[in-house]
């Protein structure tokens, strides 16, 4: 059994990790931490786990002594990198769910996150954990950078087109919409019920941090510089991401050819489902799936790709477990046979 621990278990992503790991046939969850709620039983924070998880929350500094094989860092950016620094020589492996090690250089990180990195030489060396696109370095990695939610949905939507050089890499438009859990568990004015309910708005206009992560990931797929016009929006729903991406082909194509391309590209990707109709959030809710629909508009000439994921699962905790499975030589589907929660 793999002994797993979670740093930051009281957030939305942390609680999803608990939910998934409790049902994993090859994992024993041995420790969960919270700096603000240490000493309390986990169900006191997340009552849905009453009778399923009787672990007591501890301080993060106590986790290493428990002897984990892997630690999941479900922490905000700027915070995760300090733990990675402290645990550089620790005997366990790490999946970091923050943005601290996703980018290609410390200078890029500092430009987009507005802070100095405490491990600048490690930035760009940590494998990016999007298995459908970059699995080769994951199995042997000691640390894996778990991708962001928007980059996961967007990169999976556009990767086949860019890998084959079928679209202009500098003419990509991404309209993305997320549920409120993407903003984290900490209350804020922007996620207050009266601001969210019966409302819909864009945010992070022109400068959302996931823009550069998307461009770097797709740039590696394309083998050239990629530029994306990325605009995220906040939906009045709990969870889910729906991406609509627009691309300009470099030569004539049609819907049938595009569907063949996507089927071949994702033939060995168990979590990617190619849908004949545009995807819906409820079809992926609670799962590690990414549903994709691709179409060609002969009137405008553009290619449209729609993708849907659960931002807390494929966009965070589920993908982290998928990476763990690969790191420990398990089938990547282990513990992730989760049925969609619909209605």
Q: Are residues 161 and 298 in the same domain?
A: yes
The CA–CA distances, whole Å, from 269 to 28, 164, 307 equal 26, 17, 15
Give alpha helix (H) positions in 23-174: 42-45, 80-86, 106-113, 131-134, 149-163
Q: Are residues 227 and 262 in the same domain?
A: yes
Pairing of strands 167-178, 93-96: unpaired
Q: Are residues 200 and 261 in the same domain?
A: yes
Q: Are residues 113 and 154 in the same domain?
A: no
If residue 137 lies in a helix (H) or strand (E), which one and from where to where? none
Q: Are residues 207 and 301 in the same domain?
A: yes
Q: 68 lies in a domain?
A: yes
Q: 323 lies in a domain?
A: no
Q: Are residues 98 and 157 in the same domain?
A: no
Q: Which domain holds residue 296?
A: 150-311
* Strand residues in the chain grouped as ranges (E): 2-7, 27-33, 70-73, 93-96, 143-145, 167-178, 201-202, 228-234, 241-249, 272-274, 290-296, 303-309
CATH number at residue 32: 3.40.50.720
The mean pLDDT value for 318-339 works out to: 99
What does the pLDDT look like over 114-126, one tens digit per residue?
Answer: 999 999 999 999 9
What does the pLDDT look like over 232-249, one tens digit per residue?
Answer: 999 999 999 999 999 999
What does the pLDDT look like over 169-211, one tens digit per residue?
Answer: 999 999 999 999 887 777 777 778 888 888 999 999 999 999 9
pTM beyond 0.95, yes or no: yes
Q: How many CB atoms lie within 10 A of CB 332?
A: 20
Asked if pLDDT for residue 137 goes beyond 90, the answer is yes
Q: 321 lies in a domain?
A: no
Q: In what order do the strands lie in the sheet with 27-33?
A: 27-33, 2-7, 70-73, 93-96, 143-145
Average pLDDT, whole number, for the chain?
Answer: 97
Q: Are residues 68 and 176 in the same domain?
A: no
Q: 224 lies in a domain?
A: yes
Q: 292 lies in a domain?
A: yes
Q: 56 lies in a domain?
A: yes
Q: 328 lies in a domain?
A: no
Which residues does residue 274 pair with via DSSP β-bridges, in sequence order? 292
Q: Are residues 163 and 286 in the same domain?
A: yes
Which residue among 126, 159, 177 closes a domain?
126
Q: 179 lies in a domain?
A: yes
The per-residue pLDDT for 78 is: 94
171 CB burial (10 A radius; 0-12, 13-18, 19+): middle
The per-residue pLDDT for 286 is: 98
Quote the Cα angle for 115-211-8, to 5°: 55
CB-based contact 288:319 (threshold 8 Å): yes
The residues annotated with a catalytic role in the active site are 149
130 CB burial (10 A radius; 0-12, 13-18, 19+): buried
The mean pLDDT value for 290-297 works out to: 99
The per-residue pLDDT for 192 is: 81
Counted domains in the chain = 2
CATH number at residue 188: 3.30.360.10
């Amino acid at each position: 059994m793999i002994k797993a621990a979670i740093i930051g278990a009281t957030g939305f992503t942390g609680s999803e990790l608990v939910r998934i790991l409790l049902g994993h046939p090859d994992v024993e969850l041995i420790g969960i931490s919270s700096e603000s709620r240490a000493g309390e039983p986990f169900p006191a924070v997340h009552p849905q786990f009453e009778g399923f998880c009787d672990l007591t929350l501890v301080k993060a500094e106590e986790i290493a002594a428990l002897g984990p094989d892997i630690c999941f860092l479900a922490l905000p950016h700027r915070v995760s990198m300090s733990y990675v620094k402290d645990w550089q020589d620790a005997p366990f492996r790490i999946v970091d769910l923050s943005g601290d090690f996703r980018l290609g250089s410390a200078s890029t990180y500092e430009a987009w996150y507005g802070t100095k990195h405490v491990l600048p030489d490690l930035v760009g060396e940590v494998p990016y954990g999007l298995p459908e696109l970059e699995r080769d370095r994951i199995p042997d990695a000691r640390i894996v950078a778990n991708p962001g939610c928007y980059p996961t949905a967007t990169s999976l939507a556009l990767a086949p087109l860019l890998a084959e050089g079928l679209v202009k890499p500098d003419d990509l438009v991404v309209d993305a919409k997320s549920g409120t859990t993407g903003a984290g568990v900490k209350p804020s004015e922007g996620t207050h019920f009266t601001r969210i309910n019966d409302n819909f708005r864009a945010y992070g206009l022109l400068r959302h941090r996931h823009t550069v992560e998307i461009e770097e990931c797709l740039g590696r797929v394309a083998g050239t510089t990629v530029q994306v016009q990325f605009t995220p929006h906040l939906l009045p729903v709990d969870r889910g991401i729906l991406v609509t991406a627009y691309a300009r082909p470099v030569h004539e194509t049609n819907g049938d050819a595009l569907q063949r391309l996507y089927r071949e590209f994702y033939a060995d990707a168990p979590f990617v489902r190619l849908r004949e109709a545009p995807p819906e959030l409820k079809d992926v809710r609670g799962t590690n799936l990414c549903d994709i629909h691709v179409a060609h508009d002969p009137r405008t000439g553009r290619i449209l790709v729609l993708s849907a994921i659960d931002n807390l699962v494929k966009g965070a905790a589920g993908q982290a477990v998928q990476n763990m499975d690969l790191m420990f030589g398990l089938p990547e589907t282990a513990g992730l046979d989760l049925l969609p929660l619909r209605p």
